[in-house]
Structure formats: C-alpha cells, structure tokens
Amino acid sequence: MGSSVAVVALRRLAVVGLLITSLVIFACSASDEPLVTRIAFGSCANQSAPQLIWNAITDFDPQIFIWLGDNIYGDIRQPFKLFGKERTIGPWKNVPRFIPASEQEMQSRYKRAKNNPGYSRLRQSTKVIGTWDDHDYGLNDAGKEFGGKITNQRLLLDFLDEPQDSPRRKQAGVYSSYTFGPVGRQIKVILLDTRYHRDPLFSDGSILGSLQWMWLEKELNGPPSAITIIGSSIQVISNLSATTGPLFSLECWGHFPKERDRLFRLIRDSKRDGVFFISGDVHFGEITRYDCATGYPLYDITSSGLTQAVEKAVPPPLHFIVRFVAWLTPTTMRVMGRNCRYKSCTYGEPNFGAIEIDWDSTPVAMKIEVRDVNGFPVTGVKTSLLELQTQRIDSVAAIRAEESQKYCTLEMNLPWIVRYRLAILFFCTLAILLLGLIGLTYAAISVSRRCLHKYKFD
Ligand SMILES: *[C@@H]1O[C@H](CO)[C@@H](O)[C@H](O)[C@H]1NC(C)=O
Ligand SMILES: *[C@@H]1O[C@H](CO)[C@@H](O)[C@H](O)[C@H]1NC(C)=O
Ligand SMILES: [Fe+2]
C-alpha cells in the first residue's frame, strides 16, 4: 500500500516535471525573435510634400523599415540666382545655395514628418530604424566640419524613438547595428554614418572616421548571421560621376577610392557570407553589383527617393529626355534585368526598396526590388544565400566566371569615347544649337537689310 502511494506520488512528480520542462522550452522558443521575411527601406522624403508612397509600403507589410537618409529636408535652399546681389550659382556666387535651419525649425520639420498619416500608420505595425544623409544631418553635402551635428544627432534619434538611455545618444555619430530573427536565420543590419566623420569631398580622406571603422570591424568579425545588410546613405558600388562628369557629380563611396577598397577588404577578410548594401541619396532607383571585391557578387540596391525623384524636377513632357539621358549614361555595374520598367533599368520617380526572404526554400532565396508608388516592381534581382557565398572552384563558379567579368570593370576604365559620351553629346548639341542660332541671326540680319535697302530704294 505504502509503496503504491509512493509510486503515484513519483509519477505525479514526473508529470509536473515534464510540464515544467515543456513550459520552459515553450517560454524559450516564445522569447526567440520572430523570423523576418520582409524588410522595406527608403530615403529622400520631403516632409512638406504629399507622401503617397506610404500606402504601398504599408501594403507590402514589412516587419522592418529602414530610413537611409534625407529622411527630412532640414536645410534651407536659397533661390537659384545667377545674377544680382545674392548670387547662389556659378563660380561667381557670393551666397551659399544651402544654409542650415535653426533647431526649432529642424524640430518642427521632424514633427511634420513623424505626423504624416501614412508614416504614422506604418509605425504602428513596423519596427523603424535608420541613419541620416546630408539634408537631415543639416546641410547639403556636409561632412565632419558641420557645426550643427551634435544637436541634429539628438533630433534624429528623437525622431527614431531611440531610448533616452541608449548608448547611441552618447557616441559621436548615429551608426548602429541590429540583429533580427531566430538563431540560424538571423539578419544583421549595420547602419553606417557617412556624415559625422567624413573628410571634405575630393580629399580622398575618410568617410567613416577611425572610431566607426573600429566599430565596423568588430561588427563584421563578430558572430555570423545568415544575412548582413549594410545601409549606407550614399551609393557604395555605383560610381556614376565617372561617366556623368564634368556635367554633374553625385556623392558616393567612389569619390573616396581608398576608403571604398578598405570596406571591400574588410568584408573579404571577415569571410562573412550573405553581405549586401542598400543605399539612397541620388533621387532614382537602381541595382548594381560588383563581382571583384569579395568571393561573391556584392549587390547595392539603391532606392531614392520616397518623394524626391529626378523626373519630378522637370515637366512631364520632358520626362523622355531624363529617361534618354539615363539610358545613354554608361554604367558597368548596373544590373540590367529583363523585368525593368525602363530600358535604362533606373527609375526616376518616387520609389522604395523591398526585400523578401524565403527561408523555406533550399537554398534560402531572396528577392530584392525597387517598387513604385503603387507597389509594383520597377527593377529587381533574385538571389540566394548560395550565390552570396564565397565561391569554391566548382562548376557553378566556372559557369558564372564569364558572366562575372561583366561586373568587374570600373567606370573609370571604360574607353574615353564611351565614358564621356554624355558630355560629348551635350557639347555637340550645344555647338549645333549655337551654330543654328548664329545662322538664324545672320539670316535675319541679311533679310532685314535687304528689306531696308528695298524700302530706301522705293
Ligand atoms: C518640399 O515640398 C514643398 C511643397 O511641395 C516645396 O515647396 C519644397 O520646395 C520642397 N522641398 C524640397 C527640398 O524639394
Ligand atoms: C570614381 O570616379 C571618380 C571620377 O569622377 C574618380 O576620381 C574615382 O577614382 C572613381 N572611383 C572608383 C573607385 O573608380
Ligand atoms: Fe543626400
């Protein structure tokens, strides 16, 4: 009798023990981070303009949204004046084209951005993170010399709801990293600060500064993650200025070749697989890849902007000119997919970036797209974690070798007639127009002379 009571008690204990164990296991897996399958990103949003694109972003239903800079336009643009007392354009200008706004003004612009109904709706269901670019840093094309950076760092972090006790509020610059998802299916997001420590343009100095480099080395050499997304406000792979100069120039890592090489070397030496870049700033969308940096293609998906886009700068009847120029501009790194909206595979209207990960397929598949204001893709790339792995010498690599070469030539190394064809066309057109004008003037003068002569004769 006594022994059977003991057995029952033991059994009960065992059941309770099992229950507790399963509860603990359940609690552990429940506290595990949820799997991330959809990430959206964007840049260049004018807080005073209608921001219709949030509807398409909300419909995509991202778990994470990443701001890549120019999240507001915080600086003040002076009117375009070629002549007069306050000239803002040309080598003879005497007033800067952009001036910083006051703290109160910055704050009210952030408030307007944050209260936008579309963005507010997104924030309810989506984790929002971000970094900055020049216009929210406080001044067009500014770098480390800019005086407003400490105040503006606080304002950006307020906008992003960074906790008051966050170390990010105490460091110099807004760089930061995040890890999402369960172990084995983790996504690391590294957001760079390309402004706070950046040496002057054309100095070939540093973009990140030594402290941020040390931090980045630690981040990339740290625990592995299936996917690593590096967010840079300015483009990393594309060096369009090499083919649009001397007509116009865009900020990018290419202007700091040593710094860019250091970044590629760091990724290669870290032996980290699954790394790609996302960027903004340029007011159009494009996807580029560079195959000669690490052992696998390094993609850079550029989405710009949420409201600011090159085609909006000209009246609709002239949009075809923008598209023609985009198509004519030589590029060596751009991914020319079959499914692009336009032949150039760039997109000059408002857009956002959409990353989708299919963790259940083997190998894990990824679709990265630039999408329009209605959520339809305008350019995109399908890749996998197998492709973003340092390739061993095998048949896959051999097949890819030929294709790979395509994305290895720097824009700088194009034959000059190709590299400068935009400028050549521009100056030829200008010359023809000028000749035409001279011809017309000459004709007009001679006709009026003849008339005058005839008149006198009569
Ligand atoms: C932002 O939008 C407003 C209203 O449409 C416009 O007046 C302003 O010039 C825009 N700012 C920029 C930087 O495009
Ligand atoms: C990018 O282009 C500029 C010229 O506009 C050139 O000075 C620079 O070296 C290029 N960078 C790379 C990495 O090719
Ligand atoms: Fe910018």
Interval 334-383: pLDDT, tens: 999 888 999 999 999 999 999 999 999 999 999 999 999 999 999 999 99
Burial class of residue 25 (count of CB atoms within 10 Å of its CB; 0-12, 13-18, 19+):
exposed
User: How far apart, in Å, are the Cα atoms of 336 and each of 207, 229, 378, 406, 407?
Assistant: 29, 22, 11, 11, 11
144 Cα: distance to centroid of ligand 3 (angstroms): 15
Q: What is the β-pairing status of strands 64-67 and 38-42?
A: parallel
pLDDT of residue 23: 47
Which pLDDT does position 233 carry in this prediction?
Answer: 98
Cis link prior to 363 (omega < 30° from 0)?
Answer: yes
pLDDT, position 87: 85
Ion ligand 3, residue ranges at CB < 5 A: 70, 133-134, 281
Residue 134 Cα to ligand 2 middle (Å): 21
48 close to ligand 1 (CB < 6 Angstrom) = yes
Nearest-atom index, ligand 2, CA of 412: 14
401-453 tens-digit pLDDT: 655 578 999 999 999 999 999 999 999 999 999 999 999 999 999 988 888 77
- The answer to whether the beta carbons of residues 52 and 373 sit under 8 Å apart is yes
Residue 204 in contact with residue 257, Cβ under 8 Å? yes
CA distance 173 to 188: 19
- In this prediction the pTM is 0.89
CA distance 418 to 391: 32
Q: What span, in angstroms and rounded, lies between the C-alpha atoms of 217 and 221?
A: 6
Does 46 contact ligand 1 (Cβ within 6 A)?
yes
Q: How far is the CA of 308 from the centre of ligand 1 (A)?
A: 9
pLDDT value of residue 78: 87
Q: What is the pLDDT of residues 102-119, one digit of tens each?
A: 999 999 999 999 999 999
Is the minimum distance from the CB of 244 to ligand 2 under 6 angstroms? no
Ligand nearest to the CA of 256: 2
* Percent of the chain clearing pLDDT 70 (strictly above): 89
Q: What is the pLDDT of residue 439?
A: 94
Q: Cβ-count burial of 435 within 10 angstroms (0-12 exposed, 13-18 middle, 19+ buried)?
A: exposed
Mean pLDDT value across the chain? 91
Structural element, H or E, at residue 432: helix 421-457
Mean pLDDT computed over 316-338: 95
Better pLDDT: 406 or 262: 262
Which atom number of ligand 1 is nearest to the Cα of residue 46? Answer: 1
CA distance 236 to 299: 9
Classified as helix, coil or strand, 364 is coil
140 Cα: distance to centroid of ligand 1 (angstroms) = 15
Residue 283: other Cβ atoms inside 10 A: 22
Instruction: Write out the H or E segment, with its range, that includes residue 322.
Output: helix 319-328
Rounded to an integer, the average pLDDT of 237-266 is 95
pLDDT for the residue 132: 98
| Assigned token pair, 185 | 């299916």
Q: pLDDT of 198-251, one tens digit each?
A: 999 999 999 999 999 999 999 999 999 999 999 999 999 999 999 998 898 999
φ/ψ of 191, rounded to 5, equals -105, 120
At 62-97, the pLDDT tens digits run 999 999 999 999 999 988 888 888 788 877 888 888
73 ligand 1 Cβ < 6 A: yes
Q: Which atom of ligand 1 is nearest to the CA of 48?
A: 2
pLDDT at 30: 45
Q: Average pLDDT, stretch 8-32?
A: 51
Q: Looking at domain 27-413, what is its CATH homologous superfamily?
A: Alkaline phosphatase D (PhoD) (3.60.21.70)
CA distance 133 to 194: 7
